Amino acid sequence: MVQLSTSVYLLGGLLGLFLLSPVLMAPTPASMCTPLRTLNNSLGHRRRYMKHNFPINYTIRVHHKEIFKLSDVNRMRLQLKGLDELVLQRLWFQINQGVLKKIIRVMPERHPSRPYTTELERRFRDAEGVFVQSHPAEVFQQELPETIQDTWDHLTEEPDRVPESSWRFASPNSLLDNFCRTMHCLFSECFASTEAPRDYCSVSHWMKGR
């Protein structure tokens, strides 16, 4: 009797593990890598288009949650044990969609960086489309951890309801630096190199190249 229930538990446990693991572990699907690498190639020109075509020290107003750095990713991972990577990836898409929109909004029709930025946004949308398609729909209805939901709610708030204290000023170039670094960290499987493994989530990795 005891033995039977043990094996039933075991079986149930294994089955649960089997059913849950694709959602919990959520490895980056290989199909994501093509659009993300394309996006990465565009981002290689960010300095030229985000810095040189703007006045010195030019900044735009963003929500403070839109300044999403590697340190924020690392902090969230530490604070929320067992946090599903997919949640952070969803957050990354949500944040950077807003960032791109805000950068485009300050550029007049004929601004020399506009074609670059709209192309970048198009590539970002392509990646997002593949991201949504490559996971079952239920994944996107999963309840988010409270702090993440909180951030999410702030990001989707009507701009005129955002309190003054929540706004920050950031340069377009620094916003795209964060965009690029957090992309490498959250989708590192797509940027992994076998000869020289790199920790894209470590701040020092990005400082070395400067």
Ligand X SMILES: *[C@@H]1O[C@H](CO)[C@@H](O)[C@H](O)[C@H]1NC(C)=O
**Least gap, CB of 179 to ligand X (angstroms):** 13
Give the C-alpha separation, 178 to 183, whole Å.
8
Q: Measured between alpha carbons, how far is residue 91 from residues 54, 158, 174 in Å? A: 28, 18, 18
Place of tokens 């997919």: 86
- By CB under 6 A, tell whether 147 contacts ligand X: no
One residue of 6, 21, 31, 41 binding ligand X per CB under 6 A: 41
**Min. distance of Cβ 17 from ligand X in angstroms?**
32
- Least separation in angstroms between residue 174's CB and ligand X is 12
Q: Which stretch binds ligand X (CB under 6 A): 23-31, 38-46, 89-97, 143-151?
A: 38-46
Name the one range near ligand X by CB under 6 A: 36-44, 85-93, 116-124, 196-204: 36-44
Residues 6 or more apart whose CB falls under 8 angstroms from that of 47 comprise 173
Determine which helix (DSSP H) or strand (DSSP E) holds 168, and give its type and residue range: strand 167-170
Kindly state the helix (H) or strand (E) to which residue 16 belongs, with its residue range: helix 2-25
Query: Is 47 a residue that touches ligand X (CB under 6 A)?
Result: no
User: Considering the rule CB under 6 A, would residue 56 count as an interface residue with ligand X?
Assistant: yes
Residue 48 in contact with ligand X, rule: CB under 6 A: no
> Would you count residue 178 as binding ligand X (CB under 6 A)?
no
* Cα dihedral 33, 36, 38, 43 sign: negative
Instruction: Print the SS3 string covering 17-61.
Output: HHHHHHHHHCCCCHHHHHHHHHHHHHHCCHHHHHCCCCCCCCCEE
Would you count residue 196 as binding ligand X (CB under 6 A)? Answer: no
Exactly one of 1, 4, 18, 44 binds ligand X (CB under 6 A); which one?
A: 44
List of residues contacting ligand X (CB under 6 A): 37, 40-41, 44, 56-57, 191
